[in-house]
């Protein structure tokens, strides 16, 4: 049997009906995966806790003001979060419900978009990747706006991307104008998708020399632009004044708008993180999956360039507008903050796979490529499937607090390491702690000396610990410790002034009990 006949069998098997059924099974699996992670109810980690404290402790009107703890989030997201907390109570389930719903709805909208731009095989591959990539699953259950960013990006693309030109009725125009206007209040990077789709619409009009369809959309774009201007000048521009926040993303901006090397490096890293194409070990061989994913992405772009340039423009324009914003120091391009671009990359990768399987290749070459592609697609799927057995943990401070409460005696002192302060403050009242029942660690010196434990910072910790000398039972709670070098010098000093009585460690958090009365 020739490779051509193999391709014909695939084509016969993957009918439209079969593709829809397979996609539905994949989507259901993706939903279950997200629900398992959600129900597991891990502790809020540091980044979640600081945003949660803003949501819980502020009123709706106060959420429109610059947030505490160098946090930034779209006002629409914050108000929905506040509403859910008011309705369902202050707990992790309430706080994570909106990201979960956004993650689940995104699966369906992505599947619709994939059907627009891909054949049956490509559509299945795209839906499989989107349902399974670990970061997309994880951020569907985190108290941050990244899952919402993806949903809004998909909605704007679905509503505005040029596809099967047809005249809108008045009601359709009003509905789309309203939806686009509202979307821009729920996601900061939504404006990049909005502008990107507008540019593609303009290019389409120039190519087709047909302004009739564009005129119909002018109302929608005018509505969206007006909405964004109100959002920006009313709320978003306040974030631009937060220099500490921008400093934390220093490496996410090029040092010059025309630094091509930086753009290429940032683009390459995107496949590794957040897309999650890392490496795979097979029979002693280490395969760099990010390199293969990049190659498939480029093949997909090549295919669209020859077959459908408008689709290529639709997929690449959000990337270009986001990179332009990074070049102008307006928006960081790194890790989770650009996760909203993942759907566009995934579609291009799926098209690259589809392109390969529709080429007339030598059987051995075809088998080799099929093997490589299978590994590349299977790796993130297998990684994500671990969630079914063991949901992800990050900084399980609740387990530590439970342990302390089981062992704590009335006169014990509880000292909170600086990096875990905000996690503790979120949970303190839930565990019966009131101000005065604990001691918060030294001020955050990272803004002065970076993330490492500098000598100046160590001296501050030593002063804090010296103030606790004379107490026979002192609990020292650590969380959000990013490296051993942070707490090891502190522990070494503790050994010189006291005796360790107990210890308890879990994922990302731990506690020591010391006698400092010696």
How far CA 115 is from CA of 125, 126, 127, 152, in Å, comes to 11, 9, 10, 18
C-alpha closest to that of 49 among 30, 25, 67: 67
277-286, 288-297, 348-357, 436-445: segment of lowest average pLDDT: 277-286
pLDDT at 285 over 80: no
* Phi, psi dihedrals of residue 480, rounded to the nearest 5°: 60, 35
What confidence tier does 1 reach under pLDDT thresholds 50, 70, 90?
very low
101-105, 226-230, 458-462, 483-487: segment of lowest average pLDDT: 483-487
Higher pLDDT, 104 or 232: 104
Residue 466 exposure: Cα atoms within 13 Å on the Cβ side = 6
pLDDT at 11 over 60: no
Element (H, E) at 499: strand 499-506
Three-class SS of 215-266: HHHHHHHHHHHHHHHHHHHHCHHHHHHCHHHHHHCHHHCCCCCCCHHHHHHH
Joined together, the tokens standing for residue 382 give 């297998």
The three-point CA angle 39-42-43 to 5° equals 140
Q: How far apart are CA 347 and CA 153, in angstroms?
A: 14
- How does 494-518 read in b/e, with b if 16+ C-beta sit within 10 Å? beeebeeeeebebebbbbbbbebee
**Residue 6: predicted pLDDT:** 46
Element (H, E) at 341: none
The three-point CA angle 479-252-275 to 5° equals 75
**Residue 9: predicted pLDDT:** 45
Q: How far apart are CA 135 and CA 30, in angstroms?
A: 12
**Residue 76: predicted pLDDT:** 95
Q: How far apart are CA 27 and CA 154, in angstroms?
A: 16
Q: How far apart are CA 139 and CA 274, in angstroms?
A: 11
| 236, 65 contact by CB (below 8 A) | no
Distance between start and end Cα atoms, the chain = 82
What confidence tier does 164 reach under pLDDT thresholds 50, 70, 90?
confident
Tell me how crowded residue 307 is: count the other CB atoms within 10 A of its CB. 11
Give tens-digit pLDDT for 471-509.
999 999 999 987 777 788 889 999 999 999 999 999 999
**Residue 3: predicted pLDDT:** 43
**How are beta strands 474-479 and 413-416 bridged, if at all?**
parallel
**How are beta strands 499-506 and 509-515 bridged, if at all?**
antiparallel
Give tens-digit pLDDT for 223-255.
999 999 988 887 776 665 666 666 667 778 898
What is the biggest distance separating any 2 CA atoms in the chain, rounded to whole angstroms?
86
Range with top average pLDDT, 138-152, 345-359, 428-442: 138-152
**Residue 177: predicted pLDDT:** 92
Query: DSSP secondary-structure letter at 41?
Result: -
Query: DSSP secondary-structure letter at 335?
Result: G
Give the E-state strand segments of 407-473 in sequence order: 413-416, 439-440
| 163, 153 contact by CB (below 8 A) | no
CA 148 centroid distance within chain:
9
Tell me how crowded residue 240 is: count the other CB atoms within 10 A of its CB. 13
Q: How far apart are CA 336 and CA 333, in angstroms?
A: 9
| Per-domain residue ranges of the chain | 3-241+248-389, 397-515
pLDDT at 128 over 60: yes
User: Could you tell me what percent of the chain has a pLDDT over 90?
Assistant: 63
What lies within 8 Å, CB to CB, of 430 at 6+ separation is: none
**Residue 494: predicted pLDDT:** 92
Whole-number CA gyration radius for the chain = 26
Q: How far apart are CA 42 and CA 396, in angstroms?
A: 7
Give tens-digit pLDDT for 176-193.
999 999 999 999 999 999
Q: How far apart are CA 316 and CA 301, in angstroms?
A: 9
User: Could you tell me what percent of the chain has a pLDDT over 70?
Assistant: 92
**Residue 4: predicted pLDDT:** 47
C-alpha closest to that of 350 among 310, 306, 390, 293: 293
Q: How far apart are CA 455 and CA 159, in angstroms?
A: 55
| 500, 512 contact by CB (below 8 A) | yes
Q: Strand, helix or coil at 324?
A: helix
**Residue 205: predicted pLDDT:** 82
The three-point CA angle 421-430-387 to 5° equals 80
């Amino acid at each position: 049997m020739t490779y051509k006949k193999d391709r014909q069998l695939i084509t016969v098997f993957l009918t439209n009906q079969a593709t829809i059924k397979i996609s539905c099974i994949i989507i259901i699996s993706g939903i279950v995966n997200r629900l398992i992670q959600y129900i597991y109810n891990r502790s809020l980690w540091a980044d979640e806790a600081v945003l949660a404290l803003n949501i819980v402790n502020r009123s709706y009107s106060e959420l429109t003001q610059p947030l505490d703890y160098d946090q930034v989030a779209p006002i629409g997201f914050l108000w929905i979060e506040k509403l859910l907390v008011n309705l369902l109570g202050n707990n992790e389930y309430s706080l994570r419900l909106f990201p979960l719903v956004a993650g689940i709805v995104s699966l369906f909208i992505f599947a619709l978009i994939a059907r627009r731009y891909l054949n049956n095989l490509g559509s299945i591959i795209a839906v499989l990747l989107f349902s399974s990539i670990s970061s997309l699953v994880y951020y569907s259950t985190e108290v941050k706006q990244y899952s919402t960013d993806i949903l809004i990006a998909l909605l704007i693309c679905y509503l505005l991307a040029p596809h099967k030109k047809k005249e809108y009725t008045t009601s359709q125009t009003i509905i789309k104008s309203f939806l686009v206007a509202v979307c821009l209040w729920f996601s900061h990077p939504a404006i990049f998708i909005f502008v990107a789709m507008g540019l593609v619409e303009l290019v389409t009009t120039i190519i087709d020399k047909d302004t009739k369809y564009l005129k119909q959309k002018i109302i929608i774009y005018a509505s969206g632009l007006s909405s964004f201007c109100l959002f920006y000048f009313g709320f978003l521009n306040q974030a631009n004044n937060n220099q500490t926040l921008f400093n934390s993303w220093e490496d996410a901006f090029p040092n010059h708008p025309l630094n091509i090397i930086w753009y290429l490096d940032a683009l390459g890293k995107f496949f590794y993180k957040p897309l999650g194409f890392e490496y795979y070990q097979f029979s002693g061989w280490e395969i760099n999956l990010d390199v293969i994913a990049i190659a498939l992405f480029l093949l997909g772009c090549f295919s669209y360039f020859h077959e459908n340039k408008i689709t290529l423009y639709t997929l690449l324009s959000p990337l270009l507008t986001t990179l332009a914003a990074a070049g102008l120091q307006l928006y960081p391009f790194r890790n989770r903050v650009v996760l909203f671009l993942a759907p566009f990359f995934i579609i291009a990768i799926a098209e690259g796979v589809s392109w390969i399987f529709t080429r007339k290749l030598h059987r051995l070459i075809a088998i080799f490529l099929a093997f490589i592609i299978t590994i590349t697609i299977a790796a993130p799927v297998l990684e994500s499937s671990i969630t079914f057995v063991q949901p992800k943990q990050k900084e399980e401070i609740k387990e530590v607090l439970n342990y302390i409460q089981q062992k704590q005696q009335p006169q014990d002192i509880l000292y909170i390491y600086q990096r875990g302060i905000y996690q503790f403050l979120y949970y303190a009242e839930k565990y019966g702690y009131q101000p005065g029942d604990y001691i918060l660690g030294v001020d955050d010196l990272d803004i002065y000396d970076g993330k490492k434990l500098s000598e100046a910072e160590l001296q501050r910790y030593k002063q804090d610990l010296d103030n606790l000398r004379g107490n026979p039972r002192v609990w020292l709670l650590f969380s959000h410790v990013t490296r051993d070098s942070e707490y090891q010098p502190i522990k070494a000093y503790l050994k010189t002034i006291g005796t360790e009585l107990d210890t308890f460690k879990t994922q990302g958090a731990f506690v020591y009990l010391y006698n400092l009365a010696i």
